[in-house]
Amino acid sequence: MTDYNTTRDAAGTVTARSERMLRSLSDDYQDEMVVVSLMNHYQLCSDPDDTVLVAIERVLEDYMNQADFNAWMLTRKGIANE
C-alpha cells in the first residue's frame, strides 16, 4: 500500500467519524428544540384537563430522558397545586 492510499484511507475514516459525530449533535439539538418548544406550549395552555396537555406530556416523555421528565412533571404538578 502506498503512502497516498494510506493517507486517503485515513482521511476517509476521519471524515466518516466526523460526519457521524456532527449528525448526532444535530439530532440532539433538534430533540432539545422540540422539548423546549413543547414546554413553552404546555405553559400557554390554560385548561389543566385539556387533551393537548396530555398529548404534550406523552411526546415529552418520548423525547426526554426519564429522570428529566419525572423532575419536570413534579415541577408542573407543584405549580398546578399552588
Q: Where are the domains of the chain?
A: 3-81
**Average pLDDT taken over every residue of the chain:** 81
Q: How many CA atoms lie within 13 A of 3 on its CB side?
A: 0
Q: How many CB atoms lie within 10 A of CB 71?
A: 11
* Phi–psi pair at 18, nearest 5 degrees: -65, -40
Confidence at 82, pLDDT banded by 50, 70, 90 = very low
Does the pLDDT value for residue 14 go beyond 50? Answer: yes
Q: Which helix (H) or strand (E) holds 26?
A: helix 3-44
Residue bearing the bigger pLDDT, 8 or 50: 8
Asked whether the whole model's pTM tops 0.75, one would answer no
CA distances from 43 to 17, 56, 57, 73 (A): 40, 11, 12, 12
pLDDT tens figures, 31-69: 788 888 888 888 777 666 678 888 888 888 888 889 999
